[in-house]
Amino acid sequence: MNWTIDGVTIPTYEDNLKNIAIEIENDSIASVSKKSISAVKLSIDNGVAVPGLINGHDHLIGNYYPKIGNGPYPNWLPWDNDLKSSPVYRERQLIENRDLYLSAAYRHLISGVTTVSDHIPPFVAEPFYDLLPMKAIRRYALSHSLSSFALNWGDPTSEYKRAAENDIPFVTHLSEGFDNESRAELDLLDRKGALGPNSVLVHGIAFSENDMDRIKAADASVVWCGDSNMFMYNRTMNVGMLLDKEINACIGTDSPASGGLNLLYEMKFDRTLYRKLTGKILEDHKIVEMVTANPAKAFKLHKNGSIKVGNLADITIFRYNGNNPWQSVVDAEFEDVLLVIIDGLPAYGKAEYSPIFDELGVDYQRVIIKGEERVVIGDLIGLMKRISRAVGFKKDLPYLPVEFDF
Q: Which residues contact 82 (CB under 8 A, 6 or more apart)?
A: 68, 69, 70
Q: Rg of the Cα trace of the chain?
A: 21
DSSP 177: B
Strand ranges for 83-204 from DSSP E: 113-118, 135-136, 141-142, 170-174, 199-203
Determine phi and psi for 176, rounding to 5 degrees: -90, 80
Q: How far apart are CA 159 and CA 166, in angstroms?
A: 11
How confident is the model over 221-239, as a mean pLDDT? Answer: 98
Q: How far apart are CA 75 and CA 177, in angstroms?
A: 4
- Model pLDDT, residue 35: 79
Q: Is the pLDDT of residue 47 over 80?
A: yes
Q: Is 48 helix (H, G, I), strand (E, B) or coil?
A: strand
Helical (H) or strand (E) element with 162: helix 156-166
Q: Where are the alpha helices (DSSP H) in 167-262?
A: 180-191, 209-218, 226-233, 239-244
Q: Is 1 helix (H, G, I), strand (E, B) or coil?
A: coil
Q: Where are the alpha helices (DSSP H) in 261-324?
A: 263-278, 284-289, 293-298
Q: How far apart are CA 59 and CA 99, in angstroms?
A: 14
% residues pLDDT > 90 (the chain): 95
Cis peptide before 401 (omega within 30 of 0): no
The verdict on domain 53-298 having CATH code 3.40.50.1370 is: no
- Model pLDDT, residue 16: 85
CA neighbor of 150 nearest in space, from 194, 92, 117: 194
**Could you tell me if 107 and 369 are in contact, meaning their C-beta atoms sit under 8 angstroms apart?**
no
Residue 164, judged by CB atoms within 10 A of its CB (0-12, 13-18, 19+), counts as: middle
What's at 40, amino acid-wise? V
Q: How far is CA 209 from the centre of its chain?
A: 27
How confident is the model over 280-295, as a mean pLDDT? Answer: 98
Domain ranges of the chain: 2-52+304-363, 53-298
Q: How far is CA 250 from the centre of its chain?
A: 9
What's at 200, amino acid-wise? V
How confident is the model over 264-276, as a mean pLDDT? Answer: 98
How confident is the model over 168-190, as a mean pLDDT? Answer: 96
% residues pLDDT > 70 (the chain): 100
Straight-line distance from the first to the last Cα atom of the chain, in angstroms, rounded to the nearest whole number: 39
How confident is the model over 308-324, as a mean pLDDT? Answer: 94
pLDDT digits (tens, 9 = 90+) for 82-92: 999 999 999 99
- Model pLDDT, residue 323: 77
Query: DSSP string of 335-346?
Result: GGEEEEEETTEE
What confidence category does residue 267 fall into, taking pLDDT thresholds of 50, 70 and 90?
A: very high
| In this structure, CATH architecture of domain 2-52+304-363 | Roll (2.30)
Half-sphere exposure of 226 (CA within 13 A, CB side): 24
